[in-house]
Structure 1
Amino acid sequence: MKKDVEFQRLGQEFQHTQERVNQQNSDMVRLQGENKLLKRAVAIQNQQKEEVQQENNALKQLATQAADHIKKLEQANYTLRVHLQTSTSAGMGHQQQPPDVY
């Protein structure tokens, strides 16, 4: 009789252990799925980050080129102004009349 009680207790303990193993297996499968999903999300974010960095670098390069172009245009504008002033001041020997149209 003592053996029967012990055997019954061991059977219940085994059943409880088996239930825990099954629960842990299902948790493991769920966590593996979540892990796979998270790894994919991180890979997508890394790809998007690289694309944004490339776009940012391209925009920085364009901004530098635009600044250089603006500087050249300002220099050309200054040169033209100086040339215009020199040519108009040289022609001051005879008076120019104001235009008839106002």
Structure 2
Amino acid sequence: MNKPNTPSIPALRGLLFTVIVCFLFFFFHVPFLHADWAVHIVISEMATTGTNGAKDEFVELYNPTANAIDIGNSASGYKLRYRSVTSGNWASGGLIS
């Protein structure tokens, strides 16, 4: 009776070594690459109408960059505005860090 085709011990060690090296590469290098790409504010969550009706609407902003971003200064390219039936703009001069 013939033995089934099974990989040898050195082949399994080489495969295990390759898997560990790939895991360590992605574990240690990928987060740093993504941090360099993030150059803007991210809308991470929003709710338009919740369980309490129209009074619990919100937008959650996340700053993945290393620097604070001024959301009240139009020179930065960002401006936060709130519009409702009775009021106008959000108070200017806020930083997201």
Do the two structures share a fold, i.e. TM-score over 0.5? no
Instruction: Report the TM-score when normalising by structure 1.
Output: 0.33
Instruction: Report the TM-score when normalising by structure 2.
Output: 0.35
Larger radius of gyration: 1
* Higher strand proportion: 2
Bigger RCO of structures 1 and 2 (CA < 8 A, at least 6 apart): 2
* Higher helix proportion: 1
